[in-house]
Chain A
Amino acid sequence: MSVLEARSLVKTIGTGRALRTLLDGVSLSVGPGELVAVLGRSGSGKSTLLHLLGGLDHPDAGQISVAGEELTGRGRRRLPAIRMRHIGFVFQQFHLIDELTGAENVLLPTRLPGAPAGGARRAAELIERLGLEPVTAHRPHELSGGEQQRFALARALVNGPELILADEPTGSLDVENGDAVLGLLRDLPRRAVVIVTHEPDTAAIADRVLRLAGGQLLADGRGP
Chain B
Amino acid sequence: MSAPRSALALALEGLRARRRRAVLSGLGIAVAAATLSVSVVIGYGLGTGFHRATAAAGLPDVIVRFDPQAAPRVAARIAALPDVARYALRLEVTNVGIGARGHQRGDAVAEVLDAPGTHQGYAVLSGHDLGDRGSDVLVEQGLASAWGLALGDPFYVDGLGPQRVVGFAEGPDDVGYPLGKPRFYLSRPAIDAQLGAQADPRVDLAEIWLRNPAYLSEVLVQARATSFGLHDIRFATRSGLRILIDQAAGIVIDLLVALSLIALMTAGVMLAVSARAEVQRRLGAIGVRRAVGATRAYLTVAHALEATLVALPAASLGVLLGGLATVAPAGRLETMLNEPAPRWALAGPLLLAWLAAVLIPSAGAAWPAWRAAGRPVARLLRGADVASSGAGATTRGGVPGSSPRLRGGLVALGARMVAARRARLAVTIATLGLSAAFVLLLLALASELSSLETDPGALGKRYALTAALPPSAAARVRRIPGVLAAAPRYEVQGADSFDLGETIDVIAYPGDHTTFEAPALVSGRRLRGGREAEVGAGLATALGLTEGSTLALALADGSELRLRVAGVVSSLDDDGRVAYIPASALLGPEPAAPSAIAVVLAPGADVSTVLAALTRLGAAPTPVSTAVGRGVPLVDVLRTILRAIAIVDGLVCLYALVQACALTVQERRPAVAVMRAGGGGVGAIVRLLAGAALAIVTPAAVIGVLLERGVLGPALSHLAESYATLPLGAGPAEILAVLAGLALVAAVAVVSVALDAAREPVIRGLAT
Contacts and interface: CB of A to CB of B under 8 A. Distances in A.
Given A89-B678, A141-B390, A136 B683 contact: no
Given A95-B673, A99-B389, A141-B389, A80 B680 contact: yes
A84 B678 contact: yes
Contact of B678 (A83, A98, A99, A133): A83
Contacts of A77: 681
A124 B401 CA distance: 9
B675 A120 contact: no
Interface stretch (A22-30, A110-118, A170-178): A110-118
A65 interface: no
Interface in A122-170: 123-124, 127, 133-142, 155-156, 159
B359 interface: no
A112 B394 contact: no
A174 to B, nearest CB: 20
B677 A136 contact: no
Given A81-B681, A85-B679, A138-B393, A100 B420 contact: no
A210 to B, nearest CB: 21
Interface stretch (A31-39, A51-59, A195-203): A51-59
A40 interface: no
A56 B762 CA distance: 6
A101 B678 contact: no
Given A95-B671, A112-B684, A138-B393, A83 B404 contact: no
A76 interface: yes
A108 B679 contact: no
Interface in B380-401: 385, 387, 389-390, 393-401
A81 B395 contact: no
A167 B472 CA distance: 102
Contacts of A100: 397, 406, 413, 416
B388 to A, nearest CB: 9
A76 B682 CA distance: 10
A95 B674 contact: yes
Contacts of A121: 403
A54 B684 CA distance: 19
B395 to A, nearest CB: 4
A81 B682 CA distance: 11
A6 interface: no
B687 interface: yes
Contact of B397 (A104, A113, A115): A104
Given A85-B679, A95-B766, A99-B389, A112 B674 contact: no
B539 interface: no
A120 B403 contact: yes
A135 B761 CA distance: 33
Interface string B350-391: 000000000000000000000000000000000001010110
Contacts of A120: 403-405
B275 interface: no
B761 A57 contact: yes
B409 interface: yes
A168 B400 CA distance: 30
Given A56-B677, A83-B677, A136 B409 contact: no
B413 A99 contact: yes
Contacts of B513: none
Contacts of A87: 679
Given A104-B406, A112-B684, A81 B679 contact: yes
Contacts of B678: 83-84, 88-89, 108-109, 112, 155-156, 159
A85 B413 CA distance: 22
Nearest to B398: A103
Contacts of A124: 403-404
A214 to B, nearest CB: 22
Contacts of B687: 113
B688 to A, nearest CB: 10
Interface residues of A, number: 53
Nearest to B402: A136
A77 B683 CA distance: 10
A57 B763 contact: yes
Contacts of B393: 101, 137-139, 141-142
A107 B389 CA distance: 19
A8 interface: no
B413 A136 contact: no
Contacts of B124: none
A106 interface: yes
A81 B399 CA distance: 31
B387 A98 contact: yes
Contacts of A156: 678
A221 B687 CA distance: 48
Contact of A98 (B395, B403, B420, B684): B420
A137 B396 contact: yes
Interface string B681-702: 1011001000000000000000
B680 A112 contact: yes
Contacts of A97: 413, 417, 668, 671, 674
Nearest to B681: A80
Interface string B650-683: 0000000000000000001011011111111101
Specify which of B395, B681, B761 lies most central, judged by the most chain A CB atoms within 10 Å of its CB. B681
B406 A107 contact: yes
Contacts of B395: 101, 137
Contacts of B413: 97, 99-100, 108
B613 interface: no
Contact of A101 (B397, B409, B766): B397
B410 interface: yes
A104 B398 contact: yes
Given A56-B762, A99-B420, A104-B404, A113 B681 contact: yes
B679 A106 contact: no
A88 B342 CA distance: 68
B42 interface: no
A21 to B, nearest CB: 18
A92 to B, nearest CB: 10
Contacts of B396: 101, 104, 137
B432 interface: no
A102 to B, nearest CB: 8
A106 B676 CA distance: 15
A93 interface: yes
B403 A51 contact: no
A156 B387 CA distance: 24
A139 B683 CA distance: 26
Interface of A: 51, 54, 56-57, 76-77, 80-85, 87-89, 91, 93, 95, 97-101, 103-104, 106-115, 120-121, 123-124, 127, 133-142, 155-156, 159
9 contacts: A84-B680, A91-B674, A97-B413, A99-B416, A103-B397, A104-B404, A107-B405, A109-B679, A137-B400
Given A84-B680, A121-B403, 16 more contacts: A76-B681, A95-B673, A99-B389, A99-B416, A101-B394, A103-B406, A104-B404, A108-B406, A108-B413, A108-B678, A109-B678, A109-B680, A137-B393, A137-B397, A137-B398, A155-B678
Interface of B: 385, 387, 389-390, 393-401, 403-406, 409-410, 413, 416-417, 420, 668, 670-671, 673-681, 683-684, 687, 758, 761-763, 766
